[in-house]
Structure 1
Amino acid sequence: MHDDQVDVTTETVAALIQEQFPRWSGKAVRLVSSTGTDHAIFRIGNDLSARFPLRPADPAEVLAVLEQEARASAELARVSRFPAPEPVALGKPGAGYPMPWSVQTWVPGTVALDADPSGSDAFAEDLAAFIAALRDADTRGRLFSGGGRGGVLAHHDDWMAKCFEESEGLLDVPRLRRVWSRFRELPRTGADVMSHGDLIPGNVLVAGDRLGGVLDTGGFGPADPALDLVGAWHLLQAGPREVLRRTLGCDDLEWERGKAWAFEQAMGVVWYYAESNPAMSTMGRRTLGRILESMG
């Protein structure tokens, strides 16, 4: 998916486990099929999963990130009423893999890419309950870090300009530019709340037509209250989307800002993953279609 991607094999993972965590060396190691873009994920036995960063980086910097993600994941798991992975251990470079890596508990379920919950009102109610629980969590005085989505919409102008340029021939760029010109002006009124930050189908588990769990929780932190509303556009059709909005009590401004964050994310994944991760690219197209349809 990335030109500089580090390849990880089951043999490498098995060797690392044998070297660093011999108590797990008898467990089967299986690559998990995933549309994730930042990590290769391997299941260890029935109860654990290992995550390996794909982009090469300084090991000390990677370790700092993994330690922060572990703290965030543990914090989210404490406040969520739905299953979420909990940190178990951090591994070191070795066996030809050049960076630290992490081990978490395995959360069973089917990702929303494979078990589409978009038409379920019950799923929408569950998703709203999950978002509300995170919003109620104590920020402990923390503020948005300034990285990624969740701060000032207009700070993403340069990235969006690149997205529009790269999307020529793929999307109706003139129309999408007009949409962003309106979204970027939406004012911010609400104080930061705790947020998952990446409620896309690959990070959400479905059980029947209900929310079965949430993955990729290492980004849990303070952000725009509208940020987790991206899930309304990535995951839901119009009817259930309104159920989520009504359950959360979103006003017009917060709802539009959530739409804007979903738009920013979708614009990036359509072109970037068009060839390397078609499922992600298709998700972006679907989200953009839902946003444009809602605007008439």
Structure 2
Amino acid sequence: MTKLAHFQKYKLRYEMAILCCYFLINNTLLATSIIMEADRKGTPLPFQVWEPFVWEYSSAIGVLVLFPLLIYSLQRIPFEWTSIKRSVLYYFLISVVFSLCHVAIMVGIRESIYFVMNSNYDFGNIGFELFYEYRKDLWSFIFFIIFINAYQFILSRLQGEANPVAQSEDDNISQSFDRLLIKKLGKEFIVKVEEVEWLEANGNYVNLHINGRIYPTRTTLSKLIEKISTKGFCRIHRSHAVNLEKIESITPLSSGDSEVKLNSGKALNLSRRYKESFKTQLG
């Protein structure tokens, strides 16, 4: 397995580990900086040594909790330059909600720790502090947007992106197609639809799993299934579909669902909701 394939397989774990490491290092530096700045004055610290770490780590935890929701919001409402006023308004509202939720989580954690430490946490004047926190959160929000888009752009270039290919200029690829054009690192190559093992919904994209590699295509799972169901693909879960020719075995589970095992060894859940349509298409 290549390094890229390994990253794709454990992508979420890698992303969470990188985020946690970033906030741990960044907020530790911020907390120690607060202590060092106060110590410069040569007077007793106006706070306990543990307090700056509580302030900074509670902020980091708040961002980490909200990060998946932030990504989901950006995927659901992508920034559109053709409707820039509306996009700016949407993103402004998202930033306000993000800041309010961040402050709520942050203050809740601080209050809890201060209570355990038999101390009192004073958030200060609510109006002023909310505005103060929003200024910082807005800058973080803009940074996250730039970072997320840059990361997705780089990742798409490394792993490639798939688009349907028409048989001829007269073909209507919006209805059905047999081949996919994969663009990767400046190169292009063709993959037959029948080589796709299974499909995975991922926001505004569908990840195509082909021979251990993952290629995203910009569409929804429902729309893609409509186009390639005649090629032997069947939806078995709200988040994924499978190529019937790639199935090795089906195992009923006590929950009423079933486990579908592919020739590659990948195990997928067959939801009860899709069982009847699956049996019909399999038959």
Same-fold status (TM-score > 0.5): no
Which has the bigger relative contact order, CA under 8 A and spacing at least 6? Answer: 1
Which has a greater percent of strand?
2
What TM-score, normalized by structure 1, do the two folds share? Answer: 0.26
Larger radius of gyration: 2
